[in-house]
Amino acid sequence: VVKAFEMEIIPAERIVAQIGGTLMLTCNTTGCASPSFSWRTQMDSPLGGKVSNHRTYSTLTMNPVGIVNSHSYLCTVICGERGKKEKSVKVELYSFPSDPIIEISPSLIAGEPAPVICKVPDVYPSHHLEVLLKKDEHVLHEEYFLDDDSTNTETKTVTYTFHPMAEDAGKEITCVARLPIADMDFEPKERTSSQKLNVNFGPQNTVITASPGNSPMEGDSLNLTCVTQSNPPAQIVWSKYLAEESIQHLTKNNVLFVPRVHFNDSGRYICEVINLVTNKTEEATVDIIIQGAPVITKLSIEPSTTVQEGENVSIQCSAESNPPPKIILRRKSDNADIGTSSARNILLPSVMFQNGGDYECVAENKYGNSKREITLNVKYGPRNTMITVFPAALKEGETVTMKCTSSGNPDPVISWKKKTATGESEKISKNATITIQNLKSQDLGLYECEAYNEFGKEEKAVELYVQARLEEPDQMIPFIIAFSSVAAVAVPAAAILIYVSRQAKINGSYSLVKALRLKV
């Protein structure tokens, strides 16, 4: 049986090929022992490929496929006397070889415009191209190339100005490129590329939290934590407002820890956050008030704790606490309140020695109280110097004791002198008390007591002399009287006449006056 002469082209009638790829057209025959093959384009353009003939088939290979291959190709087979046959196949081209390329700055700054560029490489035919820019699932921009008349592959670029926000950090920008050509069967017809956004922002929403709170008790620990939103993480600097608008820098950490707070830790604390990329700063402040029982910070006496009588003296007590303390300053000896205030000078003008002693400062509020003491030492010269003689009325041969006392600060030094017959004073003792035994006439005379310290001296005197004699039938007895005189300030002492009697019993008692018979 002789087969009929037939031919076919594979693929038949129509083929879709990607530019840059490889395409092979095959022309097969049956029923012909020695066929002759030829290939041409419908417009007699160059083939743009390589022909390879075999015994019963011929191939046209296009590698790589280019724009020149966009034709209808005709295969002609001649089989001797059996005639010739022809068939054609249309080659339709496209180019969509790779995913889009996204170009975004790796370091965006929130609020500042930034271009987003999407490039679709080597696309053809570009008038079918559709490009979408999306942020996550939200479409930012769409672009179509309907009016494009390119006759070759081109890289198409879409540019969109994007205003990133802080909340965009970590989100994705996606470029979706589509090439939807009707009646062309190829895959993929959609390509995508995505890039995460690195948005530098802040600092913003900076806040300070205080633990255990803004008003801790004195002695408690305090944690101040500064929290901010920033990319990249911000540098944090803690500082504190001081007097006269100066600032004390504390630490570079997001947590400021004070293990044991004191009243002077009260104040306004500042957390300053700095983003070195965005070159922006932000501050947050918190007012800390330390509460607790008073602490006396100062108890002083000016000009000194030791002063001379007559100087002006200022006693000052100050304390700190929250709530503010009530301060009482008083002398302990009489519990007399000198003053009540929060912190002020208490003036003792022309201080007297009676003002000396221990002073107490008491500071109190609802949380408790605090006490401190200080001593005011008032120096003054001798005063109230006094001589006492015992016994006040004397006989020759008896023992007499004379004692000199004086007050002063420091304690006065006591010394005794006696007037001699020449009128000069002779030092006889450095003791406050002198004792004369077996009193004789030569012991009579003026005795002087001197009280001395670095702030002055005071003198007193007493005179021992014969005032009268007692006449008896068998004897005359001398009586001696002590008379106190004043060198500095007169002091009434034993400046009276004393009569000494012999012992007489009258009505069961002794009478000094009646027993005496005076002869002056």
**In CATH, what number is assigned to the domain containing residue 168?**
2.60.40.10
Q: Is the four-CA dihedral 249, 250, 252, 256 of positive or negative sign?
A: negative
| More confident position, 283 or 495 | 283
Mean pLDDT of the 183-193 span: 92
Quick check: is 112 in a domain?
Answer: yes
226 - beta bridge partners? 208
Range of the domain at 124: 101-197
265, 323: one domain: no
Residue 8, SS3 per DSSP: strand
User: For residue 346, how many C-alpha atoms fall within 13 Å in the half-sphere facing its CB?
Assistant: 23
241, 278: one domain: yes
Structure confidence at residue 467 as a pLDDT band (50, 70, 90): low
Quick check: is 438 in a domain?
Answer: yes
Quick check: is 299 in a domain?
Answer: yes
Whether residue 262 has pLDDT greater than 50 = yes
Backbone angles phi, psi at 261, to 5 degrees: -85, 150
| More confident position, 148 or 248 | 148
73, 111: one domain: no
Quick check: is 469 in a domain?
Answer: no
Structure confidence at residue 107 as a pLDDT band (50, 70, 90): confident
Quick check: is 504 in a domain?
Answer: no
Q: By C-alpha distance, which of 372, 375, 325, 315 is closest to 349? A: 315
Structure confidence at residue 421 as a pLDDT band (50, 70, 90): confident
Whether residue 165 has pLDDT greater than 60 = yes
**pLDDT of amino acid 115:** 95
Domain count, the chain: 5
Mark which of 358, 379, 400 sits at the end of a domain: 379
- Helices (DSSP H) in 263-388: which residue ranges? none
365, 453: one domain: no
Quick check: is 283 in a domain?
Answer: yes
Quick check: is 296 in a domain?
Answer: yes
- Are the beta carbons of 238 and 270 closer than 8 angstroms? yes
The answer to whether the peptide bond before residue 11 is cis (omega within 30 degrees of 0) is yes
Q: What is the pLDDT of residues 331-361, one digit of tens each?
A: 888 766 565 544 466 788 999 999 999 999 9
**pLDDT of amino acid 487:** 38
Mean pLDDT of the 381-393 span: 90
Whether residue 240 has pLDDT greater than 50 = yes
108, 190: one domain: yes
| More confident position, 496 or 88 | 88
Return d(Cα 30, Cα 299) in angstroms, integer: 126
**pLDDT of amino acid 243:** 72
Joined tokens for residue 15: 């083929």
Classify residue 34 by burial, with Cβ atoms within 10 Å: 0-12, 13-18, 19+. exposed
Joined tokens for residue 396: 């020759």
Whether residue 365 has pLDDT greater than 80 = yes
- Are the beta carbons of 417 and 428 closer than 8 angstroms? yes
- Are the beta carbons of 196 and 150 closer than 8 angstroms? no
Structure confidence at residue 249 as a pLDDT band (50, 70, 90): confident
Q: What is the pLDDT of residues 23-49, one digit of tens each?
A: 999 999 999 989 999 999 988 889 999
Percent of the chain past pLDDT 70, that is, above it, reads 87
| More confident position, 510 or 377 | 377
Lowest mean pLDDT among 2-11, 125-134, 242-251: 242-251
- Are the beta carbons of 101 and 133 closer than 8 angstroms? no
Please tell me what DSSP assigns to residue 116. Answer: E
* Type of residue found at 210: A
Return d(Cα 261, Cα 136) in angstroms, integer: 50
Mean pLDDT of the 213-222 span: 94
Show the CA angle centred on residue 446, arms to residues 445 and 448, nearest 5°.
145
Mark which of 245, 260, 288 sits at the end of a domain: 288
Mark which of 356, 379, 402 sits at the end of a domain: 379
Q: What is the mean pLDDT of the chain?
A: 85
| More confident position, 428 or 393 | 428
To which residue do tokens 């001197």 refer?
Answer: 450
106, 191: one domain: yes
Virtual torsion, Cα 373, 379, 385, 390, nearest 10 deg: 50
Percent of the chain past pLDDT 90, that is, above it, reads 68
Please tell me what DSSP assigns to residue 324. Answer: P
Joined tokens for residue 330: 């008083």
**How far from 175 is each of 95, 137, 170, CA to CA, in Å?**
18, 11, 16
The answer for residues whose C-beta is within 8 angstroms of residue 334's C-beta and 6 or more apart is none
Please indicate, yes or no, whether the overall pTM of this predicted structure exceeds 0.85.
no
